[in-house]
Structure 1
Amino acid sequence: MPTYDFVCLDCRKRFDIFLSYQEYGTKAVACAHCSSANVRRRVPRVRVLKSDEQRLSALGDPSMLDGIDDDPVALGRMMRKMGSELGEGLPPEFSDVVDRLEAGQSPEEIESAIPDLAEGLGGGDMGDMGGFDD
């Protein structure tokens, strides 16, 4: 059975329900949190499937590196895009670092705020971007 995403217009919480194709549109839907019938279906984001080769090719675009040298926000955006393209297998610290970069913290500030970070991400110094050569 397909899963349908809804949002409750009363309590503003999201919930999923399973409905058969026959039930959809005929069965009454109520909020799973507050039981309100005042709900609206959420249309999920559309995702385009790409091959591994296409994803890696997009990451190799030199324009992605424009402006990241002295701009932590741009660096955070680039890292978030790379993380979403690479998918699974990233340590939980990765999201924390990206959130901090997007909030404007410099790599040096992040490294001093989270002293064990370099070890959790595989060693290296964030200030030099983990060993990239100039």
Structure 2
Amino acid sequence: MTAAPETGETTAPRVAPETVQAASSLLAALAAPMRLSIVALLLEHGSRCVHQLVDDLGAPQPLVSQHLRVLRGAGLVAGERRHREVHYALVDPHVGHIVRDALDHVSHPAVGAGPVPVVEDGAGCPADDGMSPR
């Protein structure tokens, strides 16, 4: 068991490696502008069929289908057949909020933007000014 810091601050619990790997896989599945756009559209509209996504994105149908395949494979979207069309929707709207937060984050300049110095971590590691090469 790790002792609590002497300053009275609480530390966040360590994240399990399998949780970190799952989060990395989620972010990797989202790591394409087209997939981010698809998720944002599904969050906005609830569900869309392929031809609606093609129209919304102005992209060729095979490209949209390829990106939907990646999102389906990652378990982020699911398709439901309705007559001759498949309508896609987010499996978990939380994923849409992650994408929306990322898009909002880059849409406006951060207050006080610039490198933030990192103080010594108490384990003897030198402070990182954010500017030194690694």
TM-score scaled to structure 2, two decimals?
0.28
Q: Which has the higher helix share?
A: 2
Instruction: Give the number of the structure with larger relative contact order, counting CA–CA contacts within 8 Å between residues 6 or more apart.
Output: 2
TM-score scaled to structure 1, two decimals?
0.28
